Structure 1
Amino acid sequence: MTGPRRTAHDTGTIRDRGAPWRAGGVRRVLAVLGLAVAALLATALPASAHATLTSSSPVGGAALDTAPDRVTLSFSESVSIKSDAIRVLDATGTRVDEGDTRGGGSASEVTVALRRSLGPGTYVVSWRVVSADSHPVGGAFAFGVGGPPDAGAAAAVPSGGGGSRAVGVSLGVARLVAFAGAALLIGATFFVGVLWPAGARRSGPVRLIAAGWLLSLAGALGMLLFQGPYSAGSGMSDVLSLDPLAVTLDSRYGQLLAIRVLALLLAVPLLRRLPVAAAAAGDGAGDGAGERAGRRGLVELAGLGLVLATTMAMIGHASAGDRVWLATAVMTVHTVAMAIWLGGLCVLGLALLDGSARSTRAAHAAGGPAESSPAGIGADLDPPVEPGWAGELARVLPRWSRTATIAIALIVLTGTVQAWREVGAFGALFDTTYGRLLLYKLWFVLGVLGLGLLARRWVRRHFQSTSAAPVTSLAVTGLRRGVVFEIIVGAAVLAVTSVLVNTVPGRDSYAPPFSRTAVAGPLTVDVEVAPTRTGLQTIHVYTYDPQGRPQRLVEASGELTLPSAGVGPLEVPLAEVTDGHAVAEGVGVPLPGEWQLRFTLRVNDFDQYVTTVFYTVR
């Protein structure tokens, strides 16, 4: 249904009152937003997906003769902090720091002063910072004054990585709402503006676009409000506080969200005139100037959609690692393709197909029952689609079929590139949370591909074959059911994605257990360490005599050293649990690198043996 043609006077109205469509304020502000996004992308430094502690003063496990005057931590990337980012506790749990964490000599260094005249004893450093990709990370380690720290002291103190579960869940929900809104807004606008211009004059597509805009805005505002308490590890009571919001807005994460909110507000006048623009650009209405004005409006909307998608790509794992600009470009294409596919499905299933089915049923009911012949009874049970809607289906569905095929291909291609970048190792697909979530997402995408192939066959059978099947009410209803199911699967993909963006990538969390067999004199020693990443580790030592039987130990001890950083030796408190099997739990390993693990094994009052193994800590 193309609607009435407009006169030259009508298109003049489009030009005169359609100021948002002209090269004026909208395009200037759009250019400013684009430059702001480009500037944030250009200033993004290479970083890991989550900040990791690379050095500390004092180091974890250190035994100091005199108390230090401050604690300084260095990270693998620039970090954001709050005043109590570092907490130093004594053996009674009392804070002994001055409570004012500050930046150090660089953006990746933080420091806090300690109270004077600390006495001998064990002290635990608990820290929490926000990495470049907006995710909080934390940890804890111990050092001693006047002797080594007590074994397991750091394990007894909660690290700074915790936080309110309610805040974390709320932030995840806000992120999912933002994803769904962007998909609906970008995809529905594309569908109406490019594939179905006549749909802009119908209430169904317009309501979907409005819903997408509202969800996008609500999600962005929710992310702004919840990010501050989430980063600080505080509770829901701080959600509406100004201080956490100010900290968020001062970060790259907050600035990108602010740009997204501005882009959404700027889109309001453009979306309100979408029916006029789509008609002038796509229906051949009016003179050349009116058509150019309509196309210019659609181009400006596309520009705002690109800004929206880019801000989404830059808040997440694409903003960290090597070649950030390339990863951001890949993720932006992935986001736009996903939005065109999923948002387009919503318009297709909930507006175009639903509208045609409803109109056909209404027209058939108004026309009364068919004649009592077999053909009439068949038409009564499954009437042909109303002619006006049949024409729209014939125009739109082949276009959508081609568009969806391209979108799915781009989703799979860019998703594969990003997955390869974030997983890092094949084993990480199965041994990390990120990898397993990615596999779930893959299964959902495969389901979408199957449903898409069925829909494509339907379109070919009814519109693209030489002997096209009749387009009847039941046929359209069957296609609509398939599309709705595809939307449900697509929503599951979005849900998994919203969790993925807040999960440590496989390349950073993959820490396969270390296992090595060594020789200590006549003894065979099997060593196992898990996990092989910074933080608390568990070390198992299995000792066998020359006959392969478990060798009972009179005494076992171990120590860790990181030669490249001059760290250690750190005590490894081994305790024999069965004959030949000793365990050390809660061993604090503060830094990544190639660690040396040295064991001294005494089998009687006269004989003891020493062996050394090396393993890599991520």
Structure 2
Amino acid sequence: MMRMTLRVAVLGLLLLISLYAGQAAAHAFLVQTTPEDSTELHAPPTQAVLRFNEAVTPARIELLNEQDEVLTSSGNWTVEHDTVRLSLPQTLAAGVYRVAYRVTSADGHPVVGFIQFGIGVKPGEEPTVETSVGGMEWIAVLVRVIHYFAVLAGMGGALFWAFVLSGHARHSVQATRDNLVWVILLAAWSGVLLVGLSGAALDGGGTAALLSARAWSIGSTSTTAAAAVVVLLASLLSLAGLWQRRTSIGMLLLSSGALLGALSFTVTGHIGTAPPRSVSIPLVFLHGLAAAFWVGSLWPLSVMLRHETGPQALETVQRFSRIAVIAVATLVATGIGMSLLQSVSSVEAVTQTGYGAIWGIKMLLVSLLIGIAVWNRIAVTPMLRTGERVASLRLRRNVFIEIALVIGVLTLTSTFALAPPPRTLPQFAPTIPISSPSTGYSTVVTSGGWNALIDVVPARVGSNRIQILLTDADGHNRTTGLISEWAQASNADSSDPIVVVHDPQMTGDIMLPSSGRWRVRLRWADSDDRAHVLRLSVQIPPDTTGAL
């Protein structure tokens, strides 16, 4: 039975990977560059500035000429949050140059691309390249599946061994303890290996790059490395707890190891780093802790059911079942919360994105998993009262099916790293208005594949500065002739709008004569001279400067 389960799990894993082999995409993307991509300059710029949609960690930022010769060194660039600045040589001759970048986003995802500009010549219409280094990432997916399973099964299995497994089942206690040692060591080893794989992928090397110090140096600066350190500490505590056996200090160490194991999932990954962190971190932590107990209990349960029958087996299963109900409820509640954070909140987000497709299949497997668990609790567990061997074997068979489904779920969870969540895509990004007396008014609006960030400062009656950032679905901001038309909502149809012609930096000034809600229409042309229109509203609060 176990061999059959492993075969099904491996086949399912390979099938799931093949389904999404083409879904790799970047999570961080460029929103603004200086110089602008594919522009002609009359004099060499002093620096190149790359601004991304989120904080990044660069591995390599280089200036290359038309012969692909590198003209800068690692000491020429600096990074501050989402902005990378590369100091350029002042002796650049006429020609076309490329600024190539390799960065990792906050969720640990490597992003590779370049922009180009010309000095005295117009660059060709070669689009900005922004890709994901997919070859190494698929190896990382396989290792990540092993890592996730080992962390959950090792730390969670230790909780089952300490708090659920009956001390009377001595053979099961010893066998489970021996297996847990190897699983926990596997969690630590796979976490370290992921650091090297992350660095090799970001550096652009193949598997041979794992033998280079550069790959490990780059990987050590990523969030994957921070998560690996947490897992190493969790592994040490769990192994120390197993060494202490089922004593008070041992149970304290095992509990601490499980808590740290769950905490490791909050350090890296697109959901662990999703804003707001004050919400995403507790959700991921509780989700990981609940998953650790449920997943970690499956293998020890199968070992126990192999050796125990009757009342002894029934006592252990019922003790597990009582805690599992809380764990499953926590998994469902936190899973819903995490899906909402990733903007998986519409049919379109599921059907029109690679992330949504993976999410949909994962939900199907999770539903099957919960269904089997409910069936075991209602129909199979009571059969253990008969003391017949067939009852234990039937429950053990269902546990093996749950293990196979868990491997499928973890595989899908690992492939999430290869697809950007809907919240990072302009068409699914929520509109978030923010009004503040000190910083003005800001809002993000998406329409027709365009994403607009509008800042109005100070957002008061009188003179105001307008700053707009327009990007298309690929993160480019190639626009010309930006005009904003402002009309007060109360009499929008009876008065001429205030027209603001924005400069090339999309900045403009406006004199707002009164407070209230203003309807704004943005008009511009893209690089192909196609006209676009986007509508929004801005709330200007009453002028209270004369109030007592």
Q: TM-score, normalised by structure 2?
A: 0.72
Work out the CA distance in 2 between the residues paired with 1:138 and 1:200.
54
Residue among 186, 194, 216 paired with 2:163 = 194
3-state SS of 1:403 partner: helix
1:327 to 280, 285, 296: 280
From 265, 283, 286, the counterpart of 2:236: 265
Q: Is the 8 A contact 1:67 1:145 kept in 2?
A: yes
Deviations 1:306-358 (A, max 9, x none): 01210122221234232213211111111111111112122112x111223xx
Structure 2 residue 343 is matched with structure 1 residue 423: yes
8 A Cα contact 1:163 1:235, kept in partner? no
Find the aligned partners of 2:402 and 2:227 in 1 and give their Cα distance.
31
Structure 2 residue aligned with 1:24: none
Given that residues 188 and 344 in structure 1 are in contact (C-alpha distance below 8 angstroms), is that contact kept between their aligned partners in structure 2? yes
How far apart, CA to CA, are the structure 1 residues paired with 2:94 and 2:294? 64
Distance 1:208 1:125, change over 3 A: same
Amino acid at match of 1:458: A
The amino acid of 1:612's aligned partner reads A
1:266-298 Cα distance to aligned partner (Å, 9 max, x none)? 432321232xx2xxxxxxxxxxxxxxxx23321
Amino acid across the alignment from 2:201: Y
Mapped pair 1:352 → 2:304: yes
Out of 50, 64, 74, the residue aligned to residue 100 of structure 1 is 74
Q: Tell me if 1:86 matches 2:38.
A: no
Which residue in the other structure is 2:264 paired with?
311
1:393 to 302, 310, 313: 313
Contact preservation (8 Å) 2:47, 2:88: yes
Q: Does the 8 A contact of 1:511 with 1:531 survive in 2?
A: no
TM-aligned CA deviation for residue 101 of structure 1: 5.7
Indicate if the aligned counterparts of 2:194 and 2:224 stay in contact, CA closer than 8 A.
Answer: no
> Which has the greater radius of gyration?
1
Q: Secondary structure at 1:97's aligned position in 2?
A: coil
Distance 2:333 2:47 in 1: 50
Residue matched to 1:478 = 394
CA–CA distance in structure 2, aligned partners of residues 128 and 80 of structure 1? 9
Q: Distance in 2 between matches of 1:595 and 1:177?
A: 51
The percent identity for this pair of structures is: 22
1:229-252 Cα distance to aligned partner (Å, 9 max, x none): 122222222212223323333444
* Residue pair 2:144, 2:194 contacting (<8 A) in 1 also: yes
Root-mean-square deviation over aligned CA pairs: 3.2
Q: Secondary structure at the match of 1:334?
A: helix
Task: Note if contact 2:369-2:405 (Cα within 8 Å) is conserved in structure 1.
Answer: yes
Distance 1:105 1:214 in 2: 36
Residue 42 of structure 2 is matched in structure 1 by 65
Question: What is the alpha-carbon distance in structure 1 between the residues aligned to residue 350 and residue 278 of structure 2?
Answer: 25
**Unaligned 5+ runs, structure 2:** 1-25, 429-446, 451-470, 485-501, 507-521, 536-548
1:299 counterpart letter in structure 2: L
Please give the alpha-carbon distance, in whole angstroms, between the structure 1 residues aligned to 2:503 and 2:209. 42
Q: Which amino acid aligns with 1:429?
A: V
Closer, same or farther: CA 89–615 of 1 in aligned 2, 3 Å? farther
SS in 2 for 1:318: coil
Corresponding residue number in structure 2 for 1:408: 328
**Partner Cα distance (2:383, 2:260) in 1:** 38
Change (3 A) 1:57 1:390: same
How far 1:226 moved relative to its partner? Answer: 1.4
1:163 aligns with 2:133: yes
- 1:249 is the counterpart of 2:220: yes
Cα offsets for 1:488-521 (capped at 9, x unmatched)? 11111111111114432121136489389xxxxx
Name the CA shift for 1:57/1:348 in 2 (closer, same or farther; >3 Å). Answer: same
Distance 2:307 2:310 in 1: 11
For 1:611 and 1:312, how far apart are their aligned partners in 2?
Answer: 45
Pair 118,450 (structure 1): closer, same or farther in 2 beyond 3 Å? same
1:51/1:131 contact within 8 Å kept: yes
Residue 505 in 1 paired to residue 421 in 2? yes
**Other structure's SS at 1:154 match:** coil
For residue 395 of structure 1, report the CA deviation from its aligned partner: 1.1
Provide the rounded CA distance (Å) in 2 between the counterparts of 1:515 and 1:499.
Answer: 25
1:164/1:503 CA distance change after superposition, 3 Å: closer
Deviations 1:467-503 (A, max 9, x none): x6x2312222222212211111111111111111443
Q: Does 1:178 align with 2:112?
A: no
The equivalent residue for 2:118 is 144
Tell me if structure 2 keeps the 8 A contact 1:183–1:338. Answer: yes
- C-alpha contact 2:355 2:420 (8 A) present in aligned 1: yes
Match of 1:129 among 93, 103, 109: 103
Question: Does the 8 A contact of 1:56 with 1:73 survive in 2?
Answer: yes
Distance 2:140 2:212 in 1: 16
Gaps of 5+ in 1: 1-48, 278-293, 357-388, 517-529, 538-558, 570-593, 601-609
Q: Deviations over 1:47-104 (max 9, x none)?
A: xx9433232221123332222233222334432223x3234343xx433632436443
- Give the residue type in structure 2 aligned to 1:514: G
Q: Structure 1 residues 207, 72: CA separation in 2 closer, same or farther (over 3 Å shift)?
A: same
The Cα shift of 1:599 comes to 9.0
Q: CA 1:106–1:296 in 2, change beyond 3 Å: closer, same or farther?
A: same
Letter paired with 2:367? L
* Bigger share in strand: 2
